[in-house]
Amino acid sequence: MIKKFLIKAKALKPKLTTTEISVDADKTPLGDGDHTVLDFGDHFVGKVKIKFSFVGSPPDAPAFVKLKFCEHKSELDEDTTNYNGWISKSWIQEEYVHIDDIPSELKLERRYAFRYIRIDVINISSKYRLVAEKATVVSQTSAKNEVKPYGEDETAKKIDKVALRTLKNCMQYEFEDGPKRDRRLWLGDLRLQALANYETYNNYDLVKRCLYLFAGVSEKNGNIPACVFTRPRVIADDTFMFDYSLLFIPTLLDYFTATGDKATALELLPTALRQIEIAKENFDGDVVRDSDKLGWCFIDWSLELNKQCSAQAVYIFCEKSAIKLCSLLGVKTDELEEDVKRKTEAAISAFYDKSLNLFVSGKERQLSYASNIWMCLADVTGKENSINILARLENTDAIRPVTPYLYHHYIQALIDAGAVDKAKKTMYDYWDGMVDAGADTFWELYDPNNADASPYGSRAVNNYCHAWSCTPSYFIRKYFTGGKND
Amino acid sequence: MIKKFLIKAKALKPKLTTTEISVDADKTPLGDGDHTVLDFGDHFVGKVKIKFSFVGSPPDAPAFVKLKFCEHKSELDEDTTNYNGWISKSWIQEEYVHIDDIPSELKLERRYAFRYIRIDVINISSKYRLVAEKATVVSQTSAKNEVKPYGEDETAKKIDKVALRTLKNCMQYEFEDGPKRDRRLWLGDLRLQALANYETYNNYDLVKRCLYLFAGVSEKNGNIPACVFTRPRVIADDTFMFDYSLLFIPTLLDYFTATGDKATALELLPTALRQIEIAKENFDGDVVRDSDKLGWCFIDWSLELNKQCSAQAVYIFCEKSAIKLCSLLGVKTDELEEDVKRKTEAAISAFYDKSLNLFVSGKERQLSYASNIWMCLADVTGKENSINILARLENTDAIRPVTPYLYHHYIQALIDAGAVDKAKKTMYDYWDGMVDAGADTFWELYDPNNADASPYGSRAVNNYCHAWSCTPSYFIRKYFTGGKND
């Protein structure tokens, strides 16, 4: 814990903007086993109040109700009783509440992320029926301004609207990964949110706060954890990811590029550079250890993915960011440059399959989009070859991306390689697929070929509003401008 | 609704006395499916706070816990999932709560009546375990003073201690029937609580408030309901009971006798007398209608009980109270006296079985303690005969009392008939049986021969702290004084 960084982070804690939105219920009298649904018409994050009345005799016993908060319509009828996945069932937004006084307004203490509320009456006296009158959400965000959906065509505008809402609803006291789950700051998500934020809400202080939070909770050796808890007090998670720690560097570079805030960049530079030193401990010579010895390196939620090659590429990508940042700040880069040269050469000799003209990963020489995307982002074999690599991949059985997170990197790699049209088509196909499937905000997971996809054992715990899916707003404004930015 | 009465009732709303009591938990780390129990050492009524901490990794998901508040130890392991009785399951004091921030203090909004709290962890992340550190109840009552347990012997003192706590814990903004269930003002309970209160806590204003509440919510025709709701606003229940409405009269008489508050007695006298007029509508000539045409007349929770004879007796008992009250207030009693004479004669000719020398009830000429207890209380055949009736009953298969409510009236009848020793023995046997069975407060139901007795379909909804069971404190101080009061 570095106290001076945490003090700065605390000073930057935003005031949230709140807005009250109410909807009328259908006012059906509800007896034992009955239910009703409230639809807020869009995705909201906030605390909820529900007004109840009754019909019949005076309520002579409390009403015991179940409240289910759903981000997506499909959750309304989803049976969650048998959920047995590997992350806690406690994430499912279901509450069981006794209502003692009727009529009254039930004020729930917790914050929810939802569009729909399903109210089930579990137990009620036979002498009366419960009536849901009206529900109100005190919607909250640290996005200060509204941003108008933008795009060179209707599809882009449609996608942008949903992406903007995704980002806005993840902007709370920190950039959260998902306002339903985990409701906290992860480095991989932060980097993408910050990129979208620079093009839209421009809440630079929120990025700055998050950078100081990560730096502030770094380990004694300087290692930055993958995630920070801020409630009930600021502490580091004991989860470290090879890639997430390193991604602090480009996140700081992007912040400096967007803001020109040299003081912050200089103050956090040593923490950033330290991640490279720590990452080096995972190398044998200039080649990073194989997946099984590397610890957790996220890259994507694909469970079969070998991550050795991607890890090497992330290292090079981040070291190049470090070189750029140091140059901008007037800090010497000789050692970094020498190291990145060695790591790049090692990457090619260890992972580049000359017969395939593609990168492969691990002992099994596994072919995946992930390895090649990251090697292209790290610009290991040059822009010309990148475009060929990305095109060549399509005719293989390479493991495909499963999250919008890796899709983001795929699109960025296509753009960096100059395949902007292909990038745009990929983005349209993927993100518009979610819009067509009823997204008000973009999802944590989306597999166009498998609606039930979840790395957790059930989509009941998936997020339907997830930070790393918000980058269409970044791509649309930065690259897909119909020539406006040229 | 009579507004001027409700205004008086409101002005008399008591301030509650609160006391914080904390107990340490055993601090066992709790994972999925684990539980722990907190024992507060006595019965309390109030709101609860529980401090939680954790062991293991930082809590990366909320803890979903079930909290069960138990008045009696036997409830801790009672399976309530299949409860299917006729009163709402919502009365069972079980909560399901998500704890988002750990460590933190969980503050529950509802009020509970309990000695034990069982905490079950339903869902938790595998990365940490929950630790219950400490629980606090903000105990509340409108009893202003502590009363020292009293009695001519150790058994009496032991019973009195529990009875005092029963009354104290039922004394809230009103005299409640039970702080677990129904948590409200019933006339039959009020009358007995008031009697115990005059001998112990002397909170006369609380009785006065309750009298005004009943008078204030009386029907247009003047009929007093069996029960008043005060939350979220004062309204009458739509439940009327033949006996409960009439019992407003002796309750007012007792209040006047205890306080000498003539203004209140005079103001409420018309409402009291009106109950006799309304009750008369249930008479054919001078005999009350049989059970099936009478509407609800409570008397006792025995479901087989024919209540015709008891109803006639309650009418006479209450009319005699009216005569006494009118006399004390200087109001004419001629008509009442004439009526009570006729009703008494009719009672004897309709219900007194000369071969049995006992009262019987209904077409089936059912023999019960209830009929005879109330006829003795109403002094229909004179004190001499009462003592014989009550003695004679014991060698019959008369339906016995099942609630402490009717036990109270049995003991009062024995005392009125002069059988004080028998009354005392009956009280000791019955109430000490509850103490031996682990009562910290006296129960709504107690059948020495059937621990599972419940009129509701399951004892899961029974009260283990119930107003009508508190009268040992009245009997002990008023009658069982070891000669002290002689």
Q: Cβ A90–B62 below 8 Å, yes or no?
A: yes
Nearest to B80 by CA among B462, B460, B464, B445: B460
Mean pLDDT of B300-311: 95
Which residues on B lie below 8 Å from A104 (Cβ)? 232
What average pLDDT score do residues B243-267 get?
98
Please name which of A401, A14, A386, A412 lies closest in space to residue A196, comparing C-alpha atoms: A412
Q: How far is CA A472 from CA A164, A188, A440, A478, B237, in A?
A: 9, 16, 14, 10, 59
Contact B123 A87 (CB under 8 A): no
Residue labelled with tokens 């682990």: B438
pLDDT reported for residue B457: 86
pLDDT of residue A450: 87
Q: What is the pLDDT of residues B279-292, one digit of tens each?
A: 999 999 999 999 99
For residue A303, the model assigns a pLDDT of: 87
**List of chain B residues whose C-beta atoms are within 8 Å of the C-beta of residue A102:** 232
Spatial separation of the C-alpha atoms in residues B88 and A122, rounded to whole Å: 10
Percent of all residues in chain A with a pLDDT value above 90, rounded to a whole number: 94
Instruction: Find out whether B427 and B480 touch, Cβ atoms under 8 Å.
Output: yes
Task: Inform me whether the pLDDT recorded for A485 exceeds 70.
Answer: no
Q: Output the CA–CA distances (angstroms, integers) from residue B113 to A96, B110, B116, B441, B465, in the order listed.
A: 20, 10, 9, 11, 8
**For residue A89, is pLDDT > 80?**
yes
Compute the average pLDDT of residues A295-312: 96
Nearest chain B CA: its distance from A446 CA (Å): 23
Out of A61, A64, A237, whose CB is closest to B58?
A237
Q: For residue A280, what are the contacts with CB-CB under 8 A and spacing of at least 6?
A: none
Do A67 and A117 touch, CB atoms closer than 8 A? yes
Give A245→chain B minimum CA distance, Å: 18
Q: Do A100 and B58 touch (CB under 8 A)?
A: no
Mean pLDDT of chain A: 97
Res A486 pLDDT > 60: no
Give B266: exposed, middle or buried? Use CB within 10 Å, 0-12, 13-18, 19+. Answer: middle
- pLDDT at res. A168: 98
Q: Residue A59 pLDDT more than 80?
A: yes
> Which residues of A are less than 8 Å from B232 in CB distance?
101-104
Q: Are A474 and A178 in contact (CB under 8 A)?
A: no
What is the CB neighbour count within 10 angstroms for residue A31? 14
Is A87 in contact with B229 (Cβ distance < 8 A)? no
Would you list which residues of chain B are within 8 Å, Cβ to Cβ, of chain A?
Answer: 57-64, 86-91, 95-96, 98, 100-104, 110, 122-126, 181-182, 227, 229, 231-232, 235-238
Chain A contacts to B (CB-CB under 8 A): 57-64, 86-91, 95-96, 98, 100-104, 110, 122-126, 181-182, 227, 229, 231-232, 235-238
Residue among A371, A434, A440 nearest A399 (CA): A371
Q: Quickly tell me which residue has 């790591």 as its tokens.
A: A343
- Residue in chain B closest to A102 (alpha carbons) equals B232
**Mutation site, B90, B107, B229, interface A, largest A CB count within 10 A:** B90
**For the whole prediction, is pTM greater than 0.90?**
yes
Q: Yes or no: say if A52 and A123 are a contact pair by the CB < 8 Å rule.
A: no
Q: Which residues of A touch B61 (CB under 8 A)?
A: 87-88, 90-91, 181-182
Beta bridge partners of B24: B134
B245 contacts B275 by C-beta, under 8 angstroms: yes
Give the nearest partner residue to A231 out of B61, B64, B101, using CB atoms.
Answer: B101
Q: Please give, rounded to a whole number of angstroms, the shortest distance from the CA of A154 to a CA of chain B.
A: 39
One DSSP character per residue, B42-108 reads EEEEEEEEEEEEEEES---S-EEEEEEEESSGGGTT---TT---SS-GGGS-EEEEEE-SSSEEEE-
pLDDT of residue A84: 87
Pair B431, B466: CB distance under 8 Å = no
Query: Could B103 and A182 be called an inter-chain contact, meaning their C-beta atoms sit closer than 8 Å?
Result: no
Tokens of B411: 């003991």
Inter-chain residue contact A124 with B90, CB threshold 8 Å: yes
**Are residues B58 and A238, on separate chains, in Cβ contact within 8 Å?**
yes
DSSP-assigned letters across all residues of B185-200: EEHHHHHHHHHHHHHT
Query: Model confidence at B155, in pLDDT bands (50, 70, 90)?
Result: very high
The reply to whether omega before A62 is within 30° of 0 (cis) is no
Q: Name the residue facing A60 among B100, B124, B237 (closest C-beta).
A: B237
Per the structure block, which two tokens stand in for A379?
Answer: 């610009």
Q: What is the mean pLDDT of residues A90-113?
A: 98
- pLDDT tens string B396-436: 999 999 999 999 999 999 999 999 999 999 999 999 999 99
Is CATH 2.60.120.260 the classification given to domain A17-141? yes
* CB contact (8 A) between residue B95 and residue A100: no
Tokens of A269: 């530079």
Per residue in B195-211, pLDDT (tens digit) is 999 999 999 999 999 99
State how far residue A63 is from chain B, nearest Cα, in angstroms.
Answer: 6
What confidence tier does B484 reach under pLDDT thresholds 50, 70, 90?
A: low
- Distance, in angstroms, between A62 CA and closest chain B CA? 6
- Decide: A163 and A469 in contact? Cβ < 8 Å: yes
ipTM confidence:
0.96
Neighbours of A67 (CB within 10 A): 22
Give A174-208 pLDDT, tens digit per residue. 999 999 999 999 999 999 999 999 999 999 999 99
Q: Return the pLDDT at B485.
A: 57
Predicted confidence (pLDDT) at residue B378 exceeds the cutoff of 80: yes
Confidence of residue B227 (pLDDT cuts 50, 70, 90): very high
State the Cα–Cα distance between residues A55 and A19, nearest whole angstrom. Answer: 31
- Label residue A452 by pLDDT band (50, 70, 90): confident
Per-residue pLDDT tens over the stretch B38-88:
999 999 999 999 999 999 999 999 999 999 999 999 999 999 998 988 999
| CB of A316 closer than 8 Å to CB of A344 | yes
Alpha helix stretches (DSSP H) within A302-419: 308-329, 334-351, 369-377, 383-393, 404-416
The CA distance from B284 to the nearest CA of chain A, in Å, is: 30
Task: Report the alpha-carbon angle A231-A194-A17, nearest 5.
Answer: 55
Q: Position A151: which residue type?
A: G
Residue A287, φ and ψ in degrees, nearest 5: -110, 130
Q: What is the model's pLDDT at position B482?
A: 80
pLDDT interval class at B453 (50, 70, 90): confident
Q: Is the pLDDT of residue B134 over 70?
A: yes
Name the DSSP letter for residue A1.
Answer: -
d(C-alpha B192, C-alpha B251), whole Å: 8
> Is the confidence at residue B451, as pLDDT, over 90?
no
User: Smallest CA–CA separation between A137 and chain B, in Å?
Assistant: 19
Average pLDDT over residues B357-361: 98
CA B118, CA B39: separation in Å to the nearest integer? Answer: 9
Instruction: Identify the H or E element spanning A141.
Output: strand A128-141
**Res. B349 pLDDT band, cuts 50 70 90:** very high
Q: Which residues contact A351 (CB under 8 A, 6 or more apart)?
A: A308, A309, A312, A359, A360, A361, A371, A375
Q: Which of B88, B181, B229 sits opposite A124 (nearest CB)?
A: B88
Q: Which residues of B touch A88 (CB under 8 A)?
A: 61-62, 64, 123-126
Instruction: List chain B domain ranges.
Output: 17-141, 154-478
Contact A182 B63 (CB under 8 A): no
Predicted pLDDT at A484: 65
CB pairs under 8 A between A and B: 97
CATH of domain B154-478: 1.50.10.10
- Is the pLDDT confidence value at A412 over 60? yes
Distance from CA of B339 to the nearest CA of A (A): 35
The vertex-A167 CA angle with A261 and A160, nearest 5°, equals: 110
A-chain CB neighbours of B123 within 8 Å are: 88-90
Which residue's entry shows tokens 């499912």?
A92
The closest alpha carbon to A134, from A95, A98, A94, A105, belongs to: A105
Q: Residue A138, exposed/middle/buried by CB under 10 A (0-12, 13-18, 19+)?
A: middle
